[in-house]
Amino acid sequence: MAVSFSRKPAFSHAASALGRGDAPDLRAKLLAAAANPYIGASAAAFLFLLSLCALILLTGDPNKGSPLIRVQLAKIGATLNAPQGWREALVNESDHEAPLTPGALDLSAQPFAEHPDEATITVAGDIAAPPPVAAPGGPLLQAPFAGLSTPGPGGGLLPVIAGDGRTAAEAYARPFTADGRPRVALVIGGLGLNPQTTRAAIETLPPEITLSFAPYAEGLQGWIDLARNHGHEVLLEAPMEPVDYPANDPGPFTLITANRPEDTVRKMEWLMSRATGYFGLTNYLGSRFVTNDAAMTTFTLTLKARGLAFIDDGQASLRGGPIPRASADRIIDDELAAGAIDGQLKMLETGAAGRGQALGSGFAYPVTINQVKVWAAGLSGRGLQLAPASAMAKR
């Protein structure tokens, strides 16, 4: 009996038989799976990723061989030499931009420093390095100066008299050299509350024009830094009680005639610690406060202890004191009309010609800023010298 052996194993015969019987069922299952939207989408995504990887491998780096330039982040946007606090002074260009305010980034809560070891404060009693000197006609140096400040309320800085006797009234004033001609000075106040008019005053008015800022302004330190960078000396406004208070209320830190001396000092310290770099205070309103002897004595002695000047809008012209003082001879924009402002500026020139000097005061109205800009441009040709308000201050 002959036995024959096949070269195919026994299980391949079974598999062939099974395949022939199940082929239709397998095709049906595959077609059903392909019709499923989830399985179809997953397969399409897989094929897309596979194709993308193959494309990258084939093409390589598209920038390969191109020149490569690296720029320091500090140089982007030309901010390397910008005054500290400049971001606070920017106005939002769009409603979609996030505001850069002290509340958002805490930009004006403390002095800035390029390096951590520079964030130090020298208080009165320490003999600091010789005071820095600004270039004539150029930007004023960045505040604070060593030895002229100490920590104050809310993390700010309070002015102090340095151990060598230097004061903020001297250090932060704009340098001035008289040339023998009659001098005219002008203070423009109410700045910091309206970004557009504040920037216009800082950037378009001559640097000899003194600027005063409201203590409640957002980003106050940034505005002061920007003003000094444009050459303007700066005053800080002290809200004072008017005769029609509280119907006319200058704010929560208004200096009130009936306050106890310690309460007046406490309010003044909050106001003075809002920023640094100002050479003195000026009044905002105050028709009742400046006529009260006790209130003004507390105010003046506090300024003396802090080494500050006091420049007023004319309401305190009868007040002297042991501090650098000056009072405006006239307010130039009581009547908001270009012709009326021009007339007041002409009267200011007449006063300077007769007495040798004159000081005016105005508010940051657009018409005021425009008329002062035009007036100041021709002042030298009329035989007068434009001077900062600090040059008018006497003890």
Domain boundaries, the chain: 168-392
Cα(225)–Cα(44) distance, rounded to whole angstroms? 60
What is each CA distance from 118 to 81, 135, 148, 280, 309, in whole angstroms? 17, 23, 15, 26, 28
Beta-carbon contacts of 108 under 8 Å, excluding residues fewer than 6 positions away, are 85, 88, 102, 156, 219, 220, 221, 222, 275
* 206 has a pLDDT exceeding 70: yes
Lowest mean pLDDT among 72-81, 334-343, 355-364, 368-377: 72-81
Per-residue model confidence (pLDDT) at position 19: 44
The stretch 304-322 carries a mean pLDDT of 96
Backbone angles phi, psi at 310, to 5 degrees: -135, 115
* 362 has a pLDDT exceeding 70: yes
- CATH fold, domain 168-392, is TIM Barrel (3.20.20)
Among 58-62, 87-91, 274-278, the range of highest mean pLDDT: 274-278
- Confidence class for position 108, pLDDT limits 50, 70, 90: very low
Which residues sit opposite 284 in a β-bridge? 239
Per-residue model confidence (pLDDT) at position 144: 97
Query: Burial, 314: exposed, middle or buried (Cβ in 10 Å; 0-12, 13-18, 19+)?
Result: middle
The stretch 292-307 carries a mean pLDDT of 98
* 100 has a pLDDT exceeding 80: no
Per-residue model confidence (pLDDT) at position 138: 84
Kind of pairing, strands 330-331 and 357-363? parallel
Which residues sit opposite 312 in a β-bridge? 327
Backbone angles phi, psi at 237, to 5 degrees: -85, 135
Tokens of 344: 């007041």
